[in-house]
Amino acid sequence: MDREKAYEELSVRLESKNLIKHCLAVEAIMKKLAAYFREDVKQWGLAGLLHDIDMDKTRGDLSKHSLVGADILEGLNIDPTVVYAVKAHNASHGIERNRRIDKALFCADPLSGLITACALILPDKKLSGVDREFVLKKFRDKSFARGSNREQIKTCIELGLELEEFIDIGLEAMKEIHEELGL
């Protein structure tokens, strides 16, 4: 499936513009990671874009989230590697993250939320004012952006990336699409 069709499928299934922006942010991070690791940028981008396609249908129920999404993606004939990565990104199912794409999606998902939260507390609410040091400071503040699971973000080490390097990649990716994100 091409990216335009995937975005259309996502848009008809999700009502929340903020959730769609989150998916765009994760897509951007995944594409940047794929380029860094010389992996399939299109495939990794689709995994990021479509990882939360079931959120409206599951109403955020983590016991169903990602399993329903995987079913939707299978019905759309999405690459099985992408389907598996989407299924495995929800830790509550205990599905092993064996491939690099699986591990990348797992840690990119909460990083996008942390970076977004960092931008939103700035007076201009723009990513241009966010740098690695600011993200690291907020990363260490456990009361900030509590939904951004720090332990999950730290699994970037399984990709061979130090936290600082991972944050740099995520920030660069999101800054490249700041207009789409409204940040």
Position 143 scores a pLDDT of 95
Q: Where do the domains of the chain lie, and which CATH numbers do they carry?
A: 3-181 (1.10.3210)
In whole numbers, what is the pLDDT of the chain averaged over residues? 97
Q: Is the pLDDT of residue 60 over 90?
A: no
First to last CA, the chain: 28
The whole-model pTM stands at 0.97
Choice among 34-43, 55-64, 79-88, 98-107 with the minimum mean pLDDT: 55-64
Q: Using CB atoms within 10 A of its CB, is residue 151 exposed (0-12), middle (13-18) or buried (19+)?
A: exposed
| Residue 8 CA to its chain's centroid (Å) | 18
44 φ/ψ sector (left φ>0, alpha ψ -120 to 50, else beta) = alpha
Q: pLDDT > 90: what percent of the chain?
A: 99
Q: How confident is the model at residue 103 (pLDDT cuts 50, 70, 90)?
A: very high
Query: Do 10 and 73 meet the contact criterion of CB atoms below 8 Å apart?
Result: no
Residue 78: its pLDDT value, please?
Answer: 97
Share of the chain above pLDDT 70, in %: 100
Supply the pLDDT for residue 59: 93
* Each residue's pLDDT tens digit, 113-136: 999 999 999 999 999 999 999 999
- The string of pLDDT tens digits covering residues 14-49 is 999 999 999 999 999 999 999 999 999 999 999 999
* CA 41 – CA 21 distance, rounded (Å): 19
